[in-house]
């Protein structure tokens, strides 16, 4: 899904690995990105074993749009629309070759500095709902981004939730500032979607 992960991903890769990823030019063989994604999946910390007692930290924001759910989905789902939503941050977006449509799909985004990030779709309901997670750079918070669309008359409601599994200690240490920051990030994304749709910026 387009763009939101650039607002919520965790700390970056070690500098030596980041330099190697930067060596890929935007015109390079995209299949190589998938190889790097698999390598980072092996090398990053085993976040699945981090203590968790079932708590979930989450924020959700919604916006009513005067556009159909199909029109909104056509904007937010294709990775190629990353530069449309965030032209100052994202230079290029594409679906990683060899990954399936729907669950298991990977999308790569290259920012204006040449850094790359890869997300994976882990839940998918065509045109209505998708859940993504960041594969690289590693996200220690294991944030899930939940996009959902609800038709409403001639328009729809678009919601974005940022969810993070956490231990009790993490919940106690999470500050109001963290929550406000995440909520602001979701709001910025939703407003940018509305702006792009109202201005007819969707790429065909």
Which DSSP string corresponds to 85-108? H-TTTEEEEEEPTTPPSSTT-EEE
Q: What is the DSSP letter of 117?
A: E
Element (H, E) at 65: strand 55-65
pLDDT in tens, 108-139: 999 999 999 999 999 999 999 999 999 999 88
Q: Given this model, what pLDDT does residue 164 score?
A: 84
* pLDDT exceeds 70 at position 161: yes
* pLDDT exceeds 80 at position 169: no
What is the Cα 39 distance to its own chain's centre? 20
Q: What is the DSSP letter of 131?
A: E
CA distance 119 to 69: 23
Domains of the chain are: 5-43+53-198 (3.30.530.20)
pLDDT in tens, 44-76: 444 334 444 557 788 899 999 999 999 999 999
10-29 burial: b if 16+ Cβ within 10 Å, else e: eeebeeebeeebeebeeeee
Reported as a pLDDT band with limits 50, 70 and 90, residue 15 is very low
Q: What is the DSSP letter of 164?
A: E
Whether the CB-CB separation of 170 and 64 falls below 8 Å is answered with no
Q: Given this model, what pLDDT does residue 73 score?
A: 97
């Amino acid at each position: 899904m387009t763009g939101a992960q650039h607002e919520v991903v965790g700390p970056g890769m070690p500098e030596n690995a980041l330099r190697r990823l930067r060596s890929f030019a935007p015109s390079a063989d995209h299949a190589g990105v998938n190889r790097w994604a698999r390598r980072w999946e092996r090398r990053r910390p085993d976040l699945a074993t981090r203590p968790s007692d079932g708590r979930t930290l989450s924020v959700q924001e919604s916006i009513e749009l005067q556009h159909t759910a199909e029109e909104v989905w056509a904007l937010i789902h294709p990775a190629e629309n990353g530069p449309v939503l965030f032209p100052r941050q994202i230079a290029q977006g594409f679906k990683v070759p060899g990954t399936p449509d729907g669950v298991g799909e990977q999308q790569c985004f290259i920012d204006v500095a040449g850094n790359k990030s890869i997300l994976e779709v882990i839940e998918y309901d065509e045109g209505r709902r998708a859940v993504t997670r960041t594969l690289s750079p590693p996200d220690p918070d294991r944030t899930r981004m939940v996009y959902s669309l609800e038709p409403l008359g001639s328009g729809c409601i678009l919601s974005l939730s940022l969810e993070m599994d956490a231990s009790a200690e993490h919940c106690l240490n999470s500050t109001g500032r963290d929550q406000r920051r995440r909520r602001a990030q979701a709001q910025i994304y939703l407003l940018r979607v509305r702006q792009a749709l109202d201005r007819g910026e969707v790429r065909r």
